[in-house]
Structure 1
Amino acid sequence: MFFPATSLAQGQPQQLPSVALQAGIHVIRAEVARTPEQRQTGLMFRKELAPNDAMLFVFELPAQQCFWMKNTLIPLSIAFLRDDGTIVNIADMKPQTLDSHCSAEPVRFALEMNQGWFAKRGLKPGAKIKGEPFGNR
């Protein structure tokens, strides 16, 4: 399921096409950031994120991916994912900081959700996120 993208105004949250993902019984609505500009902006300037909403960052090639929270107003957790959707590692990130949070191995995907989302559902490294971006449903 995809939703149309809208343009990004300076200092305004971006709205990107989204895809349905699944973590066990939990359905996630993930906006997909594919371009360098979309990935750089991410969830900046948002004042809230619905309970099962997320942003999926898609990179062209596997590499160590690192994220910060500049201009991000809400606390987030980030899961770094292998090509098949397996969680490599998860980090909790504080709003409006430049602290770097990196993948433990080269990955092409990262999934940001409200802080604590993964922990509250018992999702840890080794768990799988399913959906079209990972070639599984």
Structure 2
Amino acid sequence: MHFASIVARFRPWLMASLVILLSTLIGPRVEAATFQPLEIVTKSGVHVFSVEMATTDDEKQTGLMYRKELPDGKGMLFDFSPEQEVSMWMKNTYVSLDMIFIRADGRILRIAEATEPLSTKIIPSRGLAKGVLEVVAGTAQKYGIQPGDRVAHPLFNGR
């Protein structure tokens, strides 16, 4: 047998093995599919972030798990439509986060600052929220983001 015919004969097996090997090395999917701009209007000005959207159940369950870093100015916006009580946690999340709970009208309800990595402690919204923005810990303090500030993004019905 020639080498080419051997390769052709085993190609399906080789391709399947390669896919399995790569999926094992890469690990679980850790990024949501789309990025969008999001603005937060504070007393100190307008701050623009590039956020990944977490809209599907899978994306919301995975969130920012397994990430080793989250750059300043980046984040993940969770869509919990319709507005509801929301609970988050930091299981399998290596980066400390600020969790910004946002009402349907785009006003910030609550900020849980510097959450504890890898914790299963429940972090509640403490009121009705339509979205949760996760950004690297220290962001709220750095930009002066406070409850009552307005978030501009198509998810919210800014009035």
TM superposition score category, shorter chain reference: 0.7 to 0.9
Residue 126 of structure 2 aligns to a residue in which SS? coil
Deviation at 1:37, TM superposition (A): 0.9
Identity in percent? 33
Q: Name which of 125, 128, 151 aligns with 1:103.
A: 125
CA 1:22/1:56 → structure 2, altered by over 3 Å: closer, same or farther? same
Q: How does 1:10-89 map to 2 (within 5 A)?
A: 10-24=27-41, 25-89=46-110
Query: In angstroms, what is the RMSD of aligned CA positions?
Result: 1.4
Q: Name which of 126, 129, 132 aligns with 2:154.
A: 132
Aligned residues: 128
Residue 13 of structure 1 aligns to a residue in which SS? coil
Partner AA of 1:114 in structure 2: V
Q: Which residue in the other structure is 1:4 paired with?
A: none
Unaligned runs of 5+ in 1: 1-8
In 2, Cα distance between the equivalents of 1:98 and 1:85?
28
Larger C-alpha radius of gyration, 1 or 2? 2
CA 1:57/1:49 → structure 2, altered by over 3 Å: closer, same or farther? same
Deviation at 1:10, TM superposition (A): 4.3
Check conservation: 1:118, 1:124, Cα contact below 8 A: yes
In 2, Cα distance between the equivalents of 1:135 and 1:64?
18
Q: Which residue in the other structure is 1:112 paired with?
A: 134
CA 1:112/1:41 → structure 2, altered by over 3 Å: closer, same or farther? same
Q: TM-score, normalised by structure 2?
A: 0.75
Check conservation: 1:13, 1:46, Cα contact below 8 A: yes
Partner AA of 2:70 in structure 1: L
In 1, Cα distance between the equivalents of 2:122 and 2:58?
19
Q: Which residue in the other structure is 2:15 paired with?
A: none
